[in-house]
Structure 1
Amino acid sequence: MAESTKLIKNDIKFWKKIVIKSIEEIYQDGQPQPTEFPQRVINAWSWGAQDQLIANATVMGDHLLVFSCAMEKLEIAFFDLPCLKLIPIEERSNFTISEEGSYLHWPKQDIHLDLDALRYAIDPNVKNKFDAYKLTHDQLFGKAIATLRKQSKLKQSDIMGLSERQVSRIEKGEGTKIEKLSLFAQAHQMELNDYLEAVANLMEVV
């Protein structure tokens, strides 16, 4: 047991040296360095979540710089992201990083920003992959909605509050919002959570 604990401690020390060196390289162009090594970086690596969690962030003029725990640098202009446009210049630096590094938060505007949202806005490849995934998901979701409706012996016109054309577009994968899904649930005489669970189960087989 003692030998195992020693190996774990040595492993953490090794990764800490690697991460510290990487942070020093990231900040070598004159950007302000963190005053102390963020514990969340060590945690992220120990969890295997270094690509999903934020190590540090800073504001440089009109740009927001964010560093992942995997030492990835993401930079975006405040006017290039709709939610960031809402933040007055004098309040751009008034954000916090969640304890585990999941997101940035501007409390006055109640704006949350995570790494996935940044990558989507910055990297065309990420955007294309996400859009392709969403399209496939929406198509499967729509097909499952149609299957459940038919299994329940309901017609498109039986979904009160929606036109047949609206129902058809949703079932073809246009995507929809929770308010409209509530109308589907009501037509099936189901609670919304139960309806969504039934649709999700059908997505696995359609």
Structure 2
Amino acid sequence: MTTKTPAKHAVAFYTASARLAHAYRSAARRNKTLARCAELRELGGAAQSHVAGHHALQNVVLSHADDDHFVLTNPRVEPVVTGAFHVLFTGPATHPDQVAQWMRTTNIRSENRLHVINADDLEGAQVSQLLGRICSALGGDGDRGSIIDAYFTGGSLTVRGPGHRMLHVPADSVPALKGHPPQVLRNFEIDPDGSFLYWPALDVHLGWNQFLQAVDPAEFRSAQQRSSGFNKRYGAAIRKIREDAGVAQSKVVGLTDRKLRRIEHGECRATTTALAALARAHGLNANEYLEKLAKAMR
């Protein structure tokens, strides 16, 4: 019998209210990425868990503008609140003054630290997918350009990606989007792993690096060099492990032969979903498979 190695979490979510803790648990049941890569912690025990952590976690605090936000000003939670990335939910009844009051009270205003999201249903798919993408962007997938969220307004796309960074991308600066009307441009889907945005009416897929290219070409070239080399080495390791184990490409349930070939040749990144499918095909849990990959790349 194989002994299952506990997965190392990358993200710690803290919730500012009981209803958000309940919403997180509901999201974790929907989204396997959360169960695999993140953990829920009590905000009241933030100081102790912050000091006692065995390895560095990315801290994310979930709040709602309609709830009592003075809990975030308690000195006991300051070690986590000060350095965390904050997700502030609003609802249909939330008045803009409540958001402004939350920002004044917490003194958290920077777009690199705060993401505001309107959610009609805290237990719906929108929230579970968002939290899963946060895990991808703050965990291992972040180095390969995972998108957390995006929206279109005033002729520009606002795209949040790894490192909490927000890009403001004029639609006309992206050739595939240039010249299309706003009603088409605002109708896009976000890949569950955050790999790309997809416009069904245009049949266009665009990832983080393509948006980065539009607003910061120099940084894009640097990121492209890093990701291209990494994808080739990572893909070669995936192929070696699969061939050594005698696992045929067609036996990897959840990945098409074409998709797996592209990953193994370094033509695209291995997403969290792809790695989970590969782990299952090898009879391993995600953490065991990632450890084998790390050894194969040494």
Q: Which has the higher helix share?
A: 1
TM-score normalised to structure 1 length: 0.50
TM-score normalised to structure 2 length: 0.36
Q: Which has the higher strand share?
A: 2
The structure with the larger Rg is 1
